[in-house]
């Protein structure tokens, strides 16, 4: 075989191996629905936040080991494995795979929660609609913290709008697989932007809270990533002294950023309103009533509450219950 032909074969082999290396599949729980799970937190018509979705896919750019990695996750049908494509970087595939499994909540068992929903005559009809949902989480505690502050005292849709403005204002997209994908601005970027710029995105009085939290992280005074896996009491004692962070914020962060379902934001106005419509004759429950009612669902009560909130965002709750 002449050398030129051998070189061509080797070049083709390298390209082929490169393509294989930059894609992989992930098995999912039975009936898992990628887009329903993501759209429980990300509105399809308000993007990028920085997540972007389309028919059969979800994409964004992640920060890993100080590198940006563009990722597109595809699912052709509910219940099928996920096809992952990602941009070239120095990040190990296994690390990327672990991050995706965590952020998509693929390791969280919801079977007991589904059984509780199935046995409850008021919400039993939701069982088949929510069985494919798994808790979607922010990839980093910092992103979850900033997003949670943005969500304070506004509707979740409004929070998405404000987040979109910041993502478009402080980051630049990456063109990957003919899709423009975005990342969430890091702490240094937000801190350097300053309050005057941040205020333009609609944060109002929370501008100072967002800038202060980002500055603490940027200056190394707060290590939000170290909160992963720590008990709720430790997370609370670390964050509560920070201006603009209260109990509701820490509870939502614990769930949406740390994957801790041992706590729930019973004082959240959305869940109070939804449970009031379902179980209290249309009168909004208070935090104590939500907590007391949730005990009916046993140890899986917090995941039941989570799935009810997802059903509300997705418009799955019957109009007669509203």
3-state secondary structure 90-125: CCCHHHHHHHHHHHCCCCCCCHHHHHHHHHCCCCHH
Contact between 286 and 272 under an 8 Å Cβ cutoff? The reply is: yes
Q: What is the number of helices (H) and of strands (E) in the chain?
A: 14, 7
Q: For residues 163-179, give the mean pLDDT.
A: 96
pTM of the model: 0.90
Confidence of residue 321 (pLDDT cuts 50, 70, 90): low
For tokens 């046995």, the residue is 119
Q: Give the gyration radius of the chain's Cα atoms.
A: 21
Confidence of residue 320 (pLDDT cuts 50, 70, 90): low
pLDDT value at 2 more than 70: no
Q: For residues 27-52, give the mean pLDDT.
A: 97
Q: What is the pLDDT of residue 319?
A: 63
Contact between 62 and 137 under an 8 Å Cβ cutoff? The reply is: no
Taking alpha carbons only, the member of 101, 95, 125, 98 closest to residue 37 is 101
Confidence of residue 17 (pLDDT cuts 50, 70, 90): very low
Q: What is the pLDDT of residue 66?
A: 79
Q: For residues 240-258, give the mean pLDDT.
A: 96
Comparing 14-23, 50-59, 119-128, 244-253, the range with the smallest average pLDDT is 14-23
Contact between 276 and 286 under an 8 Å Cβ cutoff? The reply is: no
pLDDT value at 300 more than 50: yes
What's the mean pLDDT when you consider all of the chain? 92
Contact between 103 and 110 under an 8 Å Cβ cutoff? The reply is: no
pLDDT value at 63 more than 90: no
Q: For residues 192-197, give the mean pLDDT.
A: 98
How far is residue 228's CA from residue 61's CA, in Å, rounded to a whole number? 21
Comparing 53-67, 233-247, 249-263, the range with the smallest average pLDDT is 53-67
């Amino acid at each position: 075989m002449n050398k030129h032909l051998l070189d061509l074969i080797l070049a083709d082999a390298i390209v082929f191996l490169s393509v294989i290396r930059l894609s992989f599949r992930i098995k999912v729980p039975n009936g898992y629905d990628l887009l329903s799970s993501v759209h429980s937190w990300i509105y399809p018509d308000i993007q990028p936040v920085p997540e972007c979705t389309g028919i059969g896919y979800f994409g964004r750019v992640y920060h890993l080991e100080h590198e940006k990695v563009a990722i597109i996750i595809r699912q052709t049908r509910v219940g099928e494995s996920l096809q992952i494509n990602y941009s070239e970087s120095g990040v190990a595939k296994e690390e990327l795979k672990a991050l995706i499994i965590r952020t998509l909540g693929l390791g969280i068992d919801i079977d007991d929660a589904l059984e509780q929903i199935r046995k409850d005559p008021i919400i039993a009809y939701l069982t088949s609609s929510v069985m494919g949902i798994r808790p979607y989480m922010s990839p980093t505690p910092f992103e979850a913290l900033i997003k949670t502050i943005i969500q304070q005292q506004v509707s979740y849709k409004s929070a998405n709008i404000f987040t979109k403005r910041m993502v478009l204002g402080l980051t630049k997209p990456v063109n990957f697989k003919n899709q423009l994908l975005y990342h969430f601005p890091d702490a240094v970027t937000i801190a350097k932007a300053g309050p005057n710029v941040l205020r333009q995105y609609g944060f109002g009085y929370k501008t100072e809270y967002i800038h202060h939290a980002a500055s603490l992280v940027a200056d190394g005074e707060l290590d939000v990533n170290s909160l992963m896996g720590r008990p709720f009491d430790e997370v609370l004692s670390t964050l509560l002294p920070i201006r603009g962070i209260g109990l509701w914020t820490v509870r939502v962060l614990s769930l949406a950023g740390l994957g801790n379902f041992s706590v729930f934001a019973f004082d959240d106005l959305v869940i109070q309103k939804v449970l009031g419509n379902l179980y209290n004759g249309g009168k909004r429950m208070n935090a104590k009533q939500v907590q007391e009612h949730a005990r009916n669902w046993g140890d899986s009560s917090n995941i039941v509450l989570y799935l009810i909130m997802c059903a509300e965002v997705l418009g799955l709750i019957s109009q007669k219950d509203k």
